[in-house]
Amino acid sequence: MGYKEEFIRFMVQSGVLTFGDFVTKSGRNTPYFINTGNYRTGEQAARLGEYYAACLLEHMDNGDISPDLQVLFGPAYKGIPLAVATSVALFTKHGKNVGYCFNRKEKKDHGEGGNMVGHVLQDGDRVVITEDVITAGTAVRETLPLLQAAADVRVEALLVSVDRMERGTGEKTAIQELYEEYGIRTFPIVTVKEVIETLHNVPVDGKIVIDDAVRAAMEAYMEKYCVY
C-alpha cells in the first residue's frame, strides 16, 4: 500500500474524512467533509507530518518544487500544525531542515509586535504553503497578501491534504485559477477521485464508509461542481 492509500485510511480512522451532509467554506452542500481540526494526538500529528513531507519530497524529486526551500507557511489556524508537523517530519525522517512560520489572526502590538510567528521571512525566501483542503481557493487568496506584506518571497507551491477538484470563482478548478492568477502550483496528497477509488466498498476497520449510495452522492456532487 502506497502513502496515498495509507493517508486516505488514516483520515477516516482519525475522524477527519467523514461522510454525511455538510456545508463547505464556499457555501456548497457536500456529502463529504475533511476537517483537519479533528487531529488530536501526538501520534496523529506525527503521521500527518510524514504524509505531507512525503508529498513535498515527491514533488521535489520530480522537479516541481525547488530543493532550496527555506520555509513552510501555515495560515492560521488549521495550517499552523500542518506546517510544524511537516517541518518536524522533514528533519527527523529525512534530515532536511526547513523553517516554519504562521500568522496571528490579530496583529500583536506589544513585545516584538507583528502578526508573524516563527521563521522571519526574508526577501527571496522560497515558501510552500500548507493547507488542509482546497475548494474555491479562498484561504490562499487571503494568505498571499500576508506573505507579500512580510517580504518579497517566492511562493513555490501549495500543499493540501485533498484536492476536491472543484471549480473556483469561474468554470475552472480553484487549482487552475490559482496557477493562472498567481503562478502557484497546488499539490494534493490525494484527490477526491482517489478517495472514492480507494474506499468504495472497501472496509476501514471493518466498516464500509463509501458504499454505492455514498459514491453516487459524491459523484453527483462532482458532476455539479467539479472539473475532471
Predicted pLDDT at 173: 86
Predicted pLDDT at 74: 95
Backbone angles phi, psi at 32, to 5 degrees: -145, 160
Predicted pLDDT at 203: 97
Rounded CA gap, 195 and 9, in Å? 9
Angle in degrees, CA 160, 166, 169, rounded to 5: 105
* pLDDT, tens digit, 9 for 90 and up, residues 91-123: 999 999 999 999 987 665 544 556 889 999 999
Predicted pLDDT at 9: 98
Question: Could you write out the DSSP letters of every residue in the chain?
Answer: --HHHHHHHHHHHTT-EEEEEEE-TTS-EEEEEE-GGG--SHHHHHHHHHHHHHHHHHHHHTTSS-S---EEEE-TTTHHHHHHHHHHHHHHHH----EEEEEEEEEE-STT-EEEEES---TT-EEEEE-SEESSSHHHHHHHHHHHHH---EEEEEEEEEE--BB-SSSSBHHHHHHHHH--EEEEEEEHHHHHHHHBT-EETTEESB-HHHHHHHHHHHHHHB--
* pLDDT, tens digit, 9 for 90 and up, residues 139-191: 788 889 989 999 999 999 999 999 988 887 778 888 898 899 999 999 999 99
Predicted pLDDT at 110: 47
Biggest alpha carbon–alpha carbon distance for the chain: 56
What value does the mean pLDDT take over residues 209-228? 94
Residues of the domain holding 145? 3-225
Number of domains in the chain: 1
Predicted pLDDT at 108: 54
Rounded CA gap, 79 and 195, in Å? 21
**Which residues are part of the catalytic machinery?**
108, 110
Predicted pLDDT at 16: 96
CATH of residue 205: 3.40.50.2020
Q: Residue 90 has which C-alpha cell? A: 522533514
Highest mean pLDDT: which range of 13-17, 26-30, 138-142: 13-17
